[in-house]
Structure 1
Amino acid sequence: MDNAKYLRTNMTPEEGRLWYLLRGRRFYGFKFRRQMPIGPWIVDFACFKARLIVELDGGQHQDNEGYDLRRTAYLNAHGWRVIRFWNNEFRVNEESVLMTILTHLNRQLPSPQPSPTGRGC
């Protein structure tokens, strides 16, 4: 939990801007939490109602692709959807990133339980 607190007080400029836009239900009434521990991971932004995680990645993530894949697999297996954006992508095209987040927030989550027949319907 101390690491999450540290991350909350030391956000990147891009994380600070996105948090400003998401906090306090400003973003279409959806509630987000920032630097939230979920299992062994700390995620940038999480909307529990939509089970959506938004990650802003800096250049260090280019060298840690395996780490990010393991992390995303764990979160997906626990019912979360993860969307990722590069810091530069958010900085250059903020509106497009926000619309992508909104699209994901409005999607219905599939049931985490397989169907009894195993065929999905």
Structure 2
Amino acid sequence: MKIYYNHKLKGLSRSLRKKGTKAEALLWLCLKGRKIKGYQFTRQKPIGNYIVDFYCSKLRLAIEIDGISHDDKLEYDRKRQQAIEAQGVRFLRFFDDDVKTNLEDVVQVIADWIEKHQISKFPKEKEKQPEPAKSPYEKGDSGGCKSVADND
């Protein structure tokens, strides 16, 4: 199933990449460059008539960072998510404060989700013994993430 998006959102998407929140910038440091399990993520990705914070096309996974919301914003987000899920996209949502204060835990949740939902690259090699688990992430000098180990 191909993902539809409104081409009129391209300019807004580019603009949002330049004006991201602190939480988005922190998580992007951990997602870019295939640092989590080797999967490529894009940021501020148009899907349908909406833009998601981060998206992995191979996993059909959208990651959203939620700030403080009022009831009307929660309802909008619910309808928005339903419309995007109708295209076969799955969601992970994190609170802005969690990303800023517990980045390593957020990255681990994403890595665990990928481990559980990824499509096996080699389905006939199930008999092969997995390598010992590596550290799921390596903390960078400035508190950012360098990589999340791929246990393949």
Q: TM-score, normalised by structure 2?
A: 0.67
**Once the 2 structures are TM-superposed, how far is the Cα of residue 107 of structure 1 from its aligned partner?**
2.8
Given residue 55 of structure 2, which amino acid in structure 1 is its aligned partner?
A: A
1:106 corresponds to which letter in structure 2? E
Over aligned residue pairs, what C-alpha RMSD do you find?
1.3
The CA distance in 1 between the partners of 2:81 and 2:114, in whole Å, is: 17
- Aligned residue number for residue 26 of structure 2: 17
Where does structure 2 lack aligned partners over 5 or more consecutive residues? 1-9, 119-152
Alpha-carbon contact 1:52-1:105 (below 8 Å) kept:
no
In structure 2, the residue matched to 1:83 is: 92
Structure scoring higher RCO (CA < 8 A, sep ≥ 6) equals 2
Deviation of 1:105 after TM superposition, in Å, equals 1.7
Equivalent residue letter for 2:70: Q
Give the CA deviation at 1:106.
2.3
1:104 pairs with one of 110, 113, 129:
113
- In structure 1, the partner of 2:70 is 62
Paired AA for residue 17 in structure 2 = R
- 1:74 corresponds, among 80, 83, 89, to 83
Per the alignment, do residues 62 and 97 of structure 1 end up closer, same or farther by CA in structure 2, a change over 3 Å counting? Answer: farther
Find the aligned partners of 1:107 and 1:75 in 2 and give their Cα distance.
21
Per residue, is there more helix in 1 or in 2?
A: 1
Q: Displacement of 1:92 after TM fit?
A: 1.5
Runs of 4+ in 1 over 4 A off after TM superposition: none
Q: Verify the 8 A CA contact 1:75 1:82 in the aligned structure 2.
A: no
Cα contact 1:23–1:32 (8 A) shared by 2: yes
Q: Taking every aligned residue pair, what percent have the same amino acid on both sides?
A: 37
Secondary structure, aligned partner of 2:70: helix
Larger Rg: 2
Deviation at 1:62, TM superposition (A): 3.4
User: What runs of 5+ residues in structure 1 fail to find an aligned partner?
Assistant: 110-121
* Number of equivalenced pairs: 108
